[in-house]
Amino acid sequence: MAKEPHEMTAAELSALFAARDLSPVEVTEGCITRIEALDAEINSFCHLDPEASRALAEASEERWMTGEQLSPLDGVPVAVKDLLLTKGWPTLRGSRTVDPDQAWDSDAPTVARLREAGAVLIGKTTTPEFGWKGSTDSPLTGITRNPWNKHKTPGGSSGGTSAAIAARFCPIGLGTDGGGSIRIPASFSGIYGLKPSFGRVPAYPLSPFGTLAHVGPMSRTALDSAMLMNVIARPDARDWHSLPYYPTDYAAEIEAPLAGKRIAFSPRMGFAERILPEVATLVAAAAKRFERLGAHVEQVDPPGGDPGPTFRTLWWSGAASLLGDYPDEKKALLDPGLRQMAKEGVEISKKDYLAANMARGAYGSAMRVFMEKYDFLLTPALATTAFDVGRLSPLDDDGNAWMAWTPFSVPFNLTQQPAASVPCGFSSDGLPVGLQIVGRMFDDAGVLAASYAYEMSDPHYDKMPKGF
């Protein structure tokens, strides 16, 4: 083998399992060894159960040997963000306020589907408390660091998953995204992340942030995320928001050509005031590649202006709903920034909350009309590269500033469209930069295919952080 197992993608591992040239037990053991040797520097995992992971790998190996594998992901190690229920393991959500002494007797829909597919659950990954912000640190688990530069954040709130994948601790993982929480860490950590159409991937229990929050795949390549979507997009009756199930084979459709596609490119979405010049340059170069792939690219801004105030009202209200009634002694255990957000959220009136919902509807309608003319919309994933750990923002830490560097991610939680971050290069100081590819509502397969086409034209997925 030209690569070590930890360097391989999920697709490569699956092919070698099928050929009986590699064992799920070997791969899982290698993942455990790397995590135990290297994760102290990164802090991407908050819960490990090596014996349980080994047992899953041994069962998978037996299935592959007898030709009874459950799916192409049978035996592939996968990380689970610690906002998603996992049977037998605590889900503490990065918070000291969650009692670990519980039964933990159910799986979230995505975790249940992974078990049914035979995947090896390798551990739970870190998150900021209740996934509230775009960097990953919490009073419970401390600071999670970026493998590309340990002084920088890997992003959030799925920063533990992105860091684990970037450090080659596992090839794929689960994230959640309420305001960019898959795409932010994917961009900062140099990996691929997809926020699917809302309802495409079932969720339970529903996030306290309501219909802003999505669950989706994270990986090094678009193909691996497509394979993961084939599993996690299957139905679960517990999610009453879920879309009707349609048995799409995302991996089989990933080579759909871009020739003739109509693409809008918006460098600033019409309102983003500050963007790092190197980010803008790399994203503009990435947009030009789509022309060379046969697409028609037009620079144009979508309608609606800045939806940040609408998002803020809804997000802050979600924090208030979750935490506003906590007793003072419990609030004292919270991340101070989250505690302040909940306090401010309590002060939002019902009238303002309902007005924000109306504004969201108008914004989403305008975006759907805009997308009738275009197959995809390209933007920067973020306005900056990764910044120093322990901060909310590279700009300032006033509690609201994190939205100033995430102007491109928040809109598509409001509209619920599929959106992905794909690596498009590195800054002069060696930090990854992401391109955002947004699709029409329900066209998750199209976003994956566009991501794959770009990825093949400008591959970055085999580049590894030094020391890993």
pLDDT tens-digit map of 274-299: 999 999 999 999 999 999 999 999 99
> Is this model's pTM higher than 0.75 or not?
yes
Which CA distances in Å does 427 have to 163, 405, 423, 432, 435? 18, 16, 11, 6, 13
CB atoms within 10 A of CB 344: 16
Residue 398 has pLDDT above 80, yes or no: no
Contact in structure between 75 and 170 (CB atoms under 8 Å)? no
d(CA 300, CA 392): 30
Using one digit for the tens of pLDDT, what is the confidence trace for 111-152? 999 999 999 999 999 999 999 999 999 999 999 999 999 999
Give me the sign of the Cα torsion angle 434, 225, 194, 417: positive
Q: What is the set of domains in the chain, with CATH numbers?
A: 6-457 (3.90.1300.10)
Query: How far apart are the C-alpha atoms of 209 and 207, rounded to whole Å?
Result: 5
In order of 28, 39, 75, 281, 384, the CA distances from 120 in angstroms are 8, 19, 5, 40, 34
| Bridge partner list, 175 | 216
Backbone angles phi, psi at 157, to 5 degrees: -90, -5
Q: What is the pLDDT of residue 404?
A: 85
**CB-based contact 187:457 (threshold 8 Å):** no
Residue that is written with structure tokens 């035979």 in the block: 118
Q: What is the pLDDT of residues 239-283, one digit of tens each?
A: 999 999 999 999 999 999 999 999 999 999 999 989 999 999 999
HSE-CB of 229 using CA atoms within 13 angstroms = 34
Question: What residues are annotated to the active site?
Answer: 81, 157, 181
Give the separation between CA 379 and CA 421, rounded to whole angstroms. 10
Model confidence over 185-221: pLDDT tens digits? 999 999 999 999 999 999 999 999 999 999 999 999 9
Residue 403 is encoded by which pair of tokens?
């939205």
Cα–Cα nearest to 314, from 240, 403, 241, 381: 403
Q: Is the pLDDT of residue 399 over 60?
A: no
Tens digit of each residue's pLDDT (9 = 90 or more) over 403-419: 789 999 999 999 999 99
End-to-end CA distance of the chain: 19
Please tell me the predicted confidence (pLDDT) of residue 400. Answer: 64
| Orientation angle between helical segments 24-42 and 50-65, nearest 10 degrees | 150
3-state secondary structure of 376: strand
